[in-house]
Amino acid sequence: MGNALIRRPMQERSRRTEDNVLEATRRLLETKWFSEISLGEIAKVAGCGVGTVYGRFVSKDALLQVLKQDFLLATKRAHEEVVNSPELAGKGLNQRVEKLVAMIVDSYRQHRGIVRELVIGAHGHKASDDQRIGAAMTELLNGDIEFLLSALPIKKRKSSRKQVGMAVLAAINLIQNRIVFQETSPLEFSVSDRDLKQEIPKMVTAYLANLIK
């Protein structure tokens, strides 16, 4: 990771320590807000001392920012794999929606704690950092819209952009609410990731049905 938020040099042992600290923080973020997590907790879960954490990261907030950047890079790779997937070449809107929704569900599940931190509030780091991540995520969203629009006849694409964009945003919001904020849901029954992957594409394609007639 070429990053000013992480102290160098990075020998093999140092890289393992860095990975352990990042993974420990991800695990803690599954059940706590970042502001509630101490460096002592992170160090304990990572199996190292607090001084070691400070030896690898310039600050606690820098640690969160590194995790956010990691999430952005992983998300970009996941989106690129879907958009450039050979198996989807020439496929219709329905298949593309299914693949896109499955990717977003998996990404949000894997990075649940980080997504929650991105959605809710800042914790001392520069606002411009999150703004840059937000801009990058918006760019990915636009790429997803173009990916779905490319399954439509050329003459329909321009007039359909708003409807497709609303469908993608609605799908993301549903996934986010169920995975990232599921503990606040008023529903009395559980909704699995498999349910999300099956039912959200049905809703999206029903909403876009007029475009594929």
pLDDT at 183: 56
Q: Give the fold, CATH level 3, of 66-211.
A: Tetracycline Repressor; domain 2 (1.10.357)
Please report how many Cα atoms fall inside a 13 Å half-sphere around the Cα of residue 191, on the Cβ side: 22
Start-end of CATH 1.10.10.60 domains in the chain: 1-58
Collapsing DSSP to helix, strand or coil, 57 comes out as strand
Give residue 195's identity as a one-letter amino acid code. D
pLDDT at 187: 60
| Per-residue model confidence as pLDDT tens for the chain (213 residues) | 445 555 544 566 667 888 899 999 999 998 888 989 999 999 999 999 999 888 888 888 888 989 999 999 999 999 999 999 999 988 899 999 999 999 999 999 999 999 988 887 544 445 567 788 888 989 999 999 999 999 999 999 999 999 999 999 999 999 988 888 875 555 666 788 999 999 999 999 999 988 876
pLDDT at 42: 94
The domain 1-58 having CATH identifier 2.60.40.420: the answer here is: no
pLDDT at 90: 84
Distances (CA, A) of 120 to 35, 65, 150, 180: 12, 14, 33, 11
pLDDT at 93: 92
pLDDT at 205: 92
**Sign of the CA dihedral running 137, 203, 106, 191:** positive
pLDDT at 182: 73
User: To which H or E segment does residue 91 belong?
Assistant: none
Planar angle of CA 202, 104, 5, nearest 5 degrees: 165
pLDDT at 159: 93
Planar angle of CA 110, 114, 118, nearest 5 degrees: 135
Compute how many other C-beta atoms are within 10 angstroms of the C-beta atom of residue 194.
10
pLDDT at 12: 64
pLDDT at 8: 47
**Sign of the CA dihedral running 16, 21, 23, 27:** positive
Rounded to the nearest 5°, which phi and psi values hold at 179? -90, -45
Start-end of CATH 1.10.357 domains in the chain: 66-211
Nearest Cα to 120, choosing from 37, 177, 172? 177
Location of structure tokens 């600050």: 59
